[in-house]
Amino acid sequence: MDFLVDVLAWFTDSANWQGSAGIPSRTLEHIRLSAFATMVAAGLAVPLGVLLGHSGRGGLIAVSVVNIGRAIPSFAVIALALPFSIRAGLGIGFWPTFLALVLLALPPIFTNSFTAVRSVGIDVVEAARGMGMREREVLLGIELPLAAPLILTGIRVAAVQVVATATLGALVGWGGLGRYIIDGFSVQDNVRVFAGALLVAALAILTDVLFSVAERILAARGGLHGHRLPARMERPA
Amino acid sequence: MPQRAFLATEPLIRWGWIWDHLDEIRIQTVEHFILTGIAVGIGFAIAMGLSIVALRFRRTYGPVTWVTGVLYTIPSLALFAFLVPYTGLSRLTAEIGLVSYTLLILVRNIVAGIDSVSPAVREAAVGMGYSRTRLFLEIELPLALPVIAAGLRIATVTVVGLVTVTSIIGQGGLGLFILDGLRRDFYTPLIVGSVLSVVLAVVMDLTLAGLERLLSPWSRAGVAR
**Best residue in A2, A63, A235 to probe B by mutation, most B CBs within 10 Å?**
A235
**CA nearest B9 in A: which residue?**
A87
**CA nearest B200 in A: which residue?**
A71
What would the pLDDT profile of A79-95 be if each residue is shown by its tens digit?
Answer: 888 888 888 888 888 99
Contact by Cβ (8 Å): A127, B39: no
The number of CA neighbours under 13 Å toward the Cβ of B182 is 29
Residue B7: the pLDDT is 62
Residue A236 has pLDDT above 60, yes or no: no
Nearest CA-CA partner of A34 in A159, A206, A202: A159
CB pairs under 8 A between A and B: 148
From chain A, pick out residues whose CB is under 8 angstroms from the CB of B162.
73, 235-236
Residue A227 has pLDDT above 50, yes or no: no
**CA nearest B68 in A: which residue?**
A232
pLDDT band at residue A223 using 50, 70 and 90 as cut-offs = low
Residue A60: the pLDDT is 80
**Best residue in B61, B73, B90, B197 to probe A by mutation, most A CBs within 10 Å?**
B73
Residue A86: the pLDDT is 84
From chain B, pick out residues whose CB is under 8 angstroms from the CB of A201.
74-75, 78-79, 82
What would the pLDDT profile of A117-173 be if each residue is shown by its tens digit?
Answer: 888 888 888 888 888 888 888 888 888 888 888 899 999 999 999 999 999 999 888
Q: Using CA atoms in the order B100, B106, B111, B114, what is the torsion angle rounded to 10 degrees?
A: -150
Q: What is the mean pLDDT of residues A27-38?
A: 94
Question: Is A158 in CB contact (< 8 Å) with chain B?
Answer: no
Q: Where are the alpha helices (DSSP H) in chain A?
A: 2-12, 23-55, 59-71, 74-87, 94-118, 122-130, 135-137, 144-166, 178-186, 190-220, 228-232
Residue B8: the pLDDT is 65
- Selected residue with higher pLDDT from A227 and B107: B107
Helix (H/G/I), strand (E/B), else coil: A22: coil
B165 with A168: Cβ contact below 8 A: yes
From chain A, pick out residues whose CB is under 8 angstroms from the CB of B188.
none
Backbone angles phi, psi at B148, to 5 degrees: -65, -40
Q: Give the distance between the most distant pair of CA atoms in chain B.
A: 77
B70 with A89: Cβ contact below 8 A: no
| CA of A129 vs chain B CAs: smallest distance (Å) | 32
Contact by Cβ (8 Å): A169, A78: yes
Residue B192: the pLDDT is 93
Helix (H/G/I), strand (E/B), else coil: B21: coil
Residue A71: the pLDDT is 84
B75 with A89: Cβ contact below 8 A: no
Contact by Cβ (8 Å): A56, A119: no
A 10 A CB-CB count for B2 gives 10
Contact by Cβ (8 Å): B4, A91: yes
- In order along its 225 residues, chain B shows pLDDT tens digits of 444 445 667 777 888 888 888 889 999 999 999 999 999 999 999 999 999 999 999 999 999 999 999 999 999 999 999 998 899 889 999 999 999 999 999 999 999 999 999 999 999 999 999 998 899 999 999 999 989 999 999 999 999 999 999 999 989 899 999 999 888 888 899 999 999 999 999 999 999 999 988 887 776 655 444
Contacts of B216 (CB under 8 A, 6+ apart): B142, B145, B146
A 10 A CB-CB count for A132 gives 7
Residue A232: the pLDDT is 40
Q: What is the mean pLDDT of residues A13-30?
A: 89
